[in-house]
Chain A
Amino acid sequence: MTDHRLDEILGTTGRDPGCDAGLDFIDEYCDLVAHGEPVPERFADFLTHLANCRACREDTESLLAAVREQEDRSAR
Protein backbone atom coordinates (compact mmCIF):
# COMPACT_ATOMS: atom_id res chain seq x y z
CA MET A 1 0.00 0.00 0.00
CA THR A 2 1.56 3.29 -1.08
CA ASP A 3 1.74 6.38 1.14
CA HIS A 4 -0.60 8.03 -1.36
CA ARG A 5 -3.15 5.23 -0.92
CA LEU A 6 -2.77 5.48 2.86
CA ASP A 7 -3.38 9.24 2.65
CA GLU A 8 -6.51 8.56 0.62
CA ILE A 9 -7.72 6.19 3.31
CA LEU A 10 -6.73 8.10 6.44
CA GLY A 11 -6.82 11.62 5.02
CA THR A 12 -4.07 14.18 5.20
CA THR A 13 -3.45 16.14 8.38
CA GLY A 14 -4.09 19.84 8.77
CA ARG A 15 -7.17 21.92 9.50
CA ASP A 16 -10.08 20.70 7.41
CA PRO A 17 -13.17 22.96 7.42
CA GLY A 18 -15.45 20.32 5.86
CA CYS A 19 -17.75 20.35 2.85
CA ASP A 20 -20.11 23.17 3.82
CA ALA A 21 -17.32 25.65 4.60
CA GLY A 22 -15.47 24.50 1.50
CA LEU A 23 -18.39 25.60 -0.66
CA ASP A 24 -17.75 29.19 0.46
CA PHE A 25 -14.28 29.16 -1.11
CA ILE A 26 -14.73 27.11 -4.26
CA ASP A 27 -15.83 29.95 -6.58
CA GLU A 28 -13.09 32.38 -5.59
CA TYR A 29 -10.50 29.59 -5.79
CA CYS A 30 -11.61 28.57 -9.30
CA ASP A 31 -11.50 32.16 -10.53
CA LEU A 32 -7.95 32.56 -9.21
CA VAL A 33 -6.77 29.32 -10.80
CA ALA A 34 -8.57 29.98 -14.10
CA HIS A 35 -6.88 33.37 -14.39
CA GLY A 36 -3.45 32.11 -13.34
CA GLU A 37 -3.44 34.15 -10.14
CA PRO A 38 -1.52 33.00 -7.03
CA VAL A 39 -3.69 31.25 -4.44
CA PRO A 40 -3.36 33.09 -1.08
CA GLU A 41 -2.43 31.36 2.17
CA ARG A 42 -5.97 31.76 3.50
CA PHE A 43 -7.01 28.93 1.15
CA ALA A 44 -4.77 26.43 2.98
CA ASP A 45 -7.61 24.84 4.97
CA PHE A 46 -9.79 24.63 1.85
CA LEU A 47 -6.96 22.89 -0.01
CA THR A 48 -6.60 20.41 2.86
CA HIS A 49 -10.29 19.66 2.49
CA LEU A 50 -9.93 19.13 -1.26
CA ALA A 51 -7.13 16.65 -0.60
CA ASN A 52 -9.38 14.75 1.80
CA CYS A 53 -12.76 14.90 0.04
CA ARG A 54 -13.15 13.37 -3.40
CA ALA A 55 -16.62 14.84 -4.01
CA CYS A 56 -15.50 18.40 -3.31
CA ARG A 57 -12.34 17.84 -5.35
CA GLU A 58 -14.43 16.67 -8.30
CA ASP A 59 -16.84 19.58 -7.91
CA THR A 60 -13.92 22.01 -7.91
CA GLU A 61 -12.56 20.46 -11.11
CA SER A 62 -16.03 20.69 -12.62
CA LEU A 63 -16.48 24.36 -11.70
CA LEU A 64 -13.03 25.14 -13.04
CA ALA A 65 -13.94 23.42 -16.31
CA ALA A 66 -17.17 25.45 -16.49
CA VAL A 67 -15.32 28.73 -15.89
CA ARG A 68 -12.76 27.90 -18.57
CA GLU A 69 -15.47 26.82 -21.02
CA GLN A 70 -17.29 30.10 -20.49
CA GLU A 71 -14.15 32.12 -21.12
CA ASP A 72 -13.35 30.06 -24.22
CA ARG A 73 -16.82 30.82 -25.58
CA SER A 74 -16.29 34.48 -24.84
CA ALA A 75 -12.95 34.53 -26.66
CA ARG A 76 -14.45 33.07 -29.86
Chain B
Amino acid sequence: MKFDSDPNLTTDWPRELRGEGAPRDDAIARLHALLVRVARGEAVRRRASLPARGAEEVDDLCVQAANDALMAILSKLDTYRGAARFTTWACKFVIFEVSTRLRRYAWRERSVELDETIWDRLSDQAPPALKRIEDDQLIQALHCAVEAHLTERQRLIFQSVTMDDVPIDVLAERLGTTRGAIYKTLHDARAKLRRALTDAGYADQRND
Protein backbone atom coordinates (compact mmCIF):
# COMPACT_ATOMS: atom_id res chain seq x y z
CA MET B 1 0.00 0.00 0.00
CA LYS B 2 1.39 3.37 -0.97
CA PHE B 3 0.40 5.11 2.28
CA ASP B 4 2.26 2.90 4.74
CA SER B 5 4.73 5.70 5.34
CA ASP B 6 2.24 7.98 7.11
CA PRO B 7 2.11 7.22 10.85
CA ASN B 8 -1.42 8.66 11.01
CA LEU B 9 -2.56 5.89 8.66
CA THR B 10 -0.70 3.07 10.39
CA THR B 11 -1.14 3.95 14.07
CA ASP B 12 -3.39 1.65 16.10
CA TRP B 13 -5.44 4.64 17.21
CA PRO B 14 -8.16 2.83 19.20
CA ARG B 15 -5.56 0.97 21.27
CA GLU B 16 -3.45 4.07 21.88
CA LEU B 17 -6.44 6.26 22.72
CA ARG B 18 -7.74 3.67 25.19
CA GLY B 19 -4.35 3.43 26.83
CA GLU B 20 -3.05 5.38 29.80
CA GLY B 21 -0.48 8.00 30.69
CA ALA B 22 1.98 9.62 28.33
CA PRO B 23 1.36 7.33 25.30
CA ARG B 24 -2.35 8.19 25.44
CA ASP B 25 -1.63 11.89 25.86
CA ASP B 26 0.70 11.73 22.88
CA ALA B 27 -1.94 9.98 20.75
CA ILE B 28 -4.52 12.60 21.72
CA ALA B 29 -2.12 15.41 20.80
CA ARG B 30 -1.36 13.83 17.42
CA LEU B 31 -5.05 13.26 16.71
CA HIS B 32 -5.86 16.84 17.66
CA ALA B 33 -3.14 18.11 15.32
CA LEU B 34 -4.64 16.03 12.50
CA LEU B 35 -8.13 17.39 13.22
CA VAL B 36 -6.89 21.00 13.26
CA ARG B 37 -5.11 20.46 9.94
CA VAL B 38 -8.24 18.97 8.35
CA ALA B 39 -10.39 21.80 9.71
CA ARG B 40 -8.02 24.42 8.30
CA GLY B 41 -7.98 22.60 4.98
CA GLU B 42 -11.76 22.76 4.90
CA ALA B 43 -11.67 26.51 5.62
CA VAL B 44 -9.36 26.92 2.63
CA ARG B 45 -11.76 24.88 0.47
CA ARG B 46 -14.63 27.12 1.56
CA ARG B 47 -12.80 30.44 1.37
CA ALA B 48 -14.94 31.64 -1.56
CA SER B 49 -18.02 31.57 0.69
CA LEU B 50 -16.28 33.33 3.60
CA PRO B 51 -15.73 37.05 4.15
CA ALA B 52 -12.35 38.31 2.90
CA ARG B 53 -11.58 39.70 6.36
CA GLY B 54 -11.74 37.61 9.50
CA ALA B 55 -8.97 35.07 8.95
CA GLU B 56 -8.26 35.01 12.67
CA GLU B 57 -11.91 34.35 13.50
CA VAL B 58 -12.02 31.58 10.94
CA ASP B 59 -8.93 29.99 12.43
CA ASP B 60 -10.52 30.17 15.88
CA LEU B 61 -13.54 28.36 14.46
CA CYS B 62 -11.26 25.66 13.06
CA VAL B 63 -9.60 25.10 16.44
CA GLN B 64 -12.98 25.06 18.21
CA ALA B 65 -14.25 22.52 15.68
CA ALA B 66 -11.18 20.34 16.24
CA ASN B 67 -11.63 20.56 20.02
CA ASP B 68 -15.31 19.55 19.84
CA ALA B 69 -14.57 16.80 17.33
CA LEU B 70 -11.86 15.39 19.60
CA MET B 71 -14.30 15.26 22.51
CA ALA B 72 -16.89 13.51 20.32
CA ILE B 73 -14.31 10.99 19.06
CA LEU B 74 -13.10 10.11 22.56
CA SER B 75 -16.65 9.71 23.86
CA LYS B 76 -17.67 7.54 20.89
CA LEU B 77 -14.50 5.46 20.65
CA ASP B 78 -16.38 2.28 21.57
CA THR B 79 -18.72 2.76 18.59
CA TYR B 80 -15.86 2.57 16.09
CA ARG B 81 -16.30 -0.75 14.29
CA GLY B 82 -13.51 -0.54 11.74
CA ALA B 83 -15.75 -0.25 8.66
CA ALA B 84 -13.64 2.75 7.58
CA ARG B 85 -10.07 3.73 8.37
CA PHE B 86 -9.87 5.21 11.86
CA THR B 87 -8.63 8.54 10.50
CA THR B 88 -11.55 8.72 8.06
CA TRP B 89 -14.00 7.89 10.85
CA ALA B 90 -12.40 10.56 13.05
CA CYS B 91 -12.26 13.18 10.32
CA LYS B 92 -16.00 12.98 9.68
CA PHE B 93 -16.53 14.51 13.12
CA VAL B 94 -14.29 17.47 12.43
CA ILE B 95 -15.73 17.96 8.93
CA PHE B 96 -19.22 18.10 10.41
CA GLU B 97 -18.15 20.50 13.17
CA VAL B 98 -16.15 22.86 10.97
CA SER B 99 -18.53 22.94 8.00
CA THR B 100 -21.43 23.76 10.31
CA ARG B 101 -19.46 26.59 11.93
CA LEU B 102 -18.25 28.00 8.62
CA ARG B 103 -21.72 27.97 7.05
CA ARG B 104 -23.07 29.84 10.06
CA TYR B 105 -20.14 32.27 10.01
CA ALA B 106 -20.70 33.02 6.32
CA TRP B 107 -24.38 33.79 7.01
CA ARG B 108 -23.96 35.58 10.33
CA GLU B 109 -25.01 38.99 8.99
CA ARG B 110 -27.82 37.76 6.75
CA SER B 111 -31.38 37.34 7.86
CA VAL B 112 -33.53 34.31 7.17
CA GLU B 113 -37.15 35.09 6.36
CA LEU B 114 -39.93 34.14 3.99
CA ASP B 115 -39.27 35.86 0.66
CA GLU B 116 -42.31 35.75 -1.63
CA THR B 117 -40.38 37.37 -4.50
CA ILE B 118 -38.49 34.11 -4.84
CA TRP B 119 -41.36 32.74 -6.92
CA ASP B 120 -40.78 35.38 -9.60
CA ARG B 121 -37.15 34.34 -9.89
CA LEU B 122 -37.78 30.62 -10.20
CA SER B 123 -38.21 30.40 -13.98
CA ASP B 124 -35.28 29.83 -16.26
CA GLN B 125 -33.90 33.04 -17.70
CA ALA B 126 -35.02 32.65 -21.31
CA PRO B 127 -36.66 29.31 -22.07
CA PRO B 128 -38.52 28.70 -25.33
CA ALA B 129 -42.02 30.19 -25.28
CA LEU B 130 -43.89 26.88 -24.92
CA LYS B 131 -41.56 25.72 -22.16
CA ARG B 132 -42.03 29.07 -20.46
CA ILE B 133 -45.80 28.59 -20.38
CA GLU B 134 -45.34 25.07 -18.93
CA ASP B 135 -42.89 26.48 -16.40
CA ASP B 136 -45.25 29.22 -15.36
CA GLN B 137 -48.08 26.73 -14.88
CA LEU B 138 -45.89 24.36 -12.88
CA ILE B 139 -44.50 27.14 -10.72
CA GLN B 140 -48.02 28.46 -10.13
CA ALA B 141 -49.18 24.95 -9.14
CA LEU B 142 -46.18 24.57 -6.82
CA HIS B 143 -46.83 27.96 -5.26
CA CYS B 144 -50.50 27.06 -4.69
CA ALA B 145 -49.48 23.73 -3.15
CA VAL B 146 -47.07 25.48 -0.78
CA GLU B 147 -49.78 27.90 0.34
CA ALA B 148 -52.44 25.20 0.68
CA HIS B 149 -50.54 22.33 2.24
CA LEU B 150 -47.55 23.58 4.24
CA THR B 151 -47.48 25.01 7.73
CA GLU B 152 -45.74 28.36 8.27
CA ARG B 153 -42.64 26.59 9.61
CA GLN B 154 -42.61 24.13 6.70
CA ARG B 155 -42.92 27.04 4.23
CA LEU B 156 -40.02 28.90 5.80
CA ILE B 157 -37.80 25.83 5.76
CA PHE B 158 -38.84 24.62 2.29
CA GLN B 159 -38.48 28.00 0.57
CA SER B 160 -35.29 28.97 2.39
CA VAL B 161 -33.46 25.71 1.70
CA THR B 162 -34.66 24.82 -1.79
CA MET B 163 -35.10 28.24 -3.38
CA ASP B 164 -33.01 30.71 -1.41
CA ASP B 165 -30.01 28.39 -0.78
CA VAL B 166 -29.98 29.02 2.96
CA PRO B 167 -27.73 26.33 4.48
CA ILE B 168 -29.65 23.84 6.60
CA ASP B 169 -27.22 24.40 9.50
CA VAL B 170 -27.97 28.12 9.47
CA LEU B 171 -31.69 27.41 9.69
CA ALA B 172 -31.10 24.94 12.50
CA GLU B 173 -29.24 27.61 14.48
CA ARG B 174 -31.81 30.35 13.85
CA LEU B 175 -34.74 28.06 14.68
CA GLY B 176 -33.04 26.52 17.71
CA THR B 177 -32.96 22.95 16.49
CA THR B 178 -30.74 20.42 14.72
CA ARG B 179 -29.79 19.74 11.10
CA GLY B 180 -31.61 16.39 11.32
CA ALA B 181 -34.83 17.98 12.58
CA ILE B 182 -34.76 20.65 9.86
CA TYR B 183 -34.16 17.99 7.22
CA LYS B 184 -37.09 15.91 8.52
CA THR B 185 -39.36 18.94 8.19
CA LEU B 186 -38.07 19.58 4.67
CA HIS B 187 -38.54 15.91 3.73
CA ASP B 188 -42.15 15.92 4.96
CA ALA B 189 -42.87 19.20 3.15
CA ARG B 190 -41.47 17.86 -0.11
CA ALA B 191 -43.58 14.69 0.19
CA LYS B 192 -46.72 16.80 0.70
CA LEU B 193 -45.89 18.92 -2.34
CA ARG B 194 -45.15 15.95 -4.57
CA ARG B 195 -48.52 14.45 -3.65
CA ALA B 196 -50.29 17.78 -4.27
CA LEU B 197 -48.64 18.22 -7.67
CA THR B 198 -49.52 14.66 -8.65
CA ASP B 199 -53.13 15.26 -7.61
CA ALA B 200 -53.11 18.42 -9.73
CA GLY B 201 -51.91 16.46 -12.77
CA TYR B 202 -48.20 17.32 -12.59
CA ALA B 203 -45.09 15.29 -12.05
CA ASP B 204 -46.74 11.84 -12.07
CA GLN B 205 -43.38 10.18 -11.57
CA ARG B 206 -42.61 12.04 -8.37
CA ASN B 207 -44.44 9.85 -5.86
CA ASP B 208 -42.71 8.40 -2.84
CA distance A37 to B85 in the complex (A): 14
Main SS at interface, chain B: helix
B residues with CB within 8 A of A = 2-6, 8-9, 38, 41-42, 45, 83-85, 87-89, 91-92, 95-96, 99, 103, 122-124, 135, 138-139, 142, 161-163, 167-169, 179-180, 183-184, 186-187, 190, 193-194, 197, 203, 205-208
Majority secondary structure, A binding face: helix
**Residues in B neighbouring A23, C-beta threshold 8 A:** 92, 96
Pick 14 A–B contacts, CB within 8 A, sort by A.
A1-B123, A2-B124, A5-B124, A9-B142, A9-B163, A10-B197, A13-B205, A19-B179, A26-B92, A27-B92, A55-B99, A62-B99, A71-B2, A73-B6
A31 and B180 contact, Cβ closer than 8 Å, known pairs A2-B124, A13-B207: no
Q: Quick one: which of A10, A11, A28, A53 contacts B83, CB cutoff 8 A?
A: A28
Instruction: Name the residue of chain A whose CB is nearest to the CB of B194.
Output: A10
Taking a contact as CB atoms closer than 8 A, the residue among A18, A66, A73, A74 that contacts B95 in the complex is: A66
Q: Which residues from chain A contact B99 at a C-beta distance below 8 Å? A: 55, 58-59, 62
Closest chain-A Cβ to B100's Cβ sits at a distance in Å of 8
**A51 at the A/B interface (Cβ < 8 Å)?**
no
The 9 closest A-B pairs by CB, nearest first: A74-B6, A74-B3, A27-B84, A20-B180, A11-B190, A28-B84, A28-B83, A19-B180, A9-B162
CA distance A71 to B38 in the complex (A): 13
Among B38, B41, B95, B190, max chain A CB count under 10 A is at B95
CA distance A37 to B35 in the complex (A): 25
How many residues of chain A have a CB within 8 Å of chain B?
A: 36
Given contacts A55-B99, A55-B103, A74-B5, contact A18 B88 (CB under 8 A): no
Bound together, the chains give a CA A74 to CA B165 distance in angstroms of 37
Closest chain-A Cβ to B19's Cβ sits at a distance in Å of 23
Residue A50, interface by CB 8 Å: no
Residues 20-76 of A contacting B (Cβ, < 8 Å): 20, 23, 26-28, 30-31, 52-55, 58-59, 62-63, 65-67, 69-71, 73-75
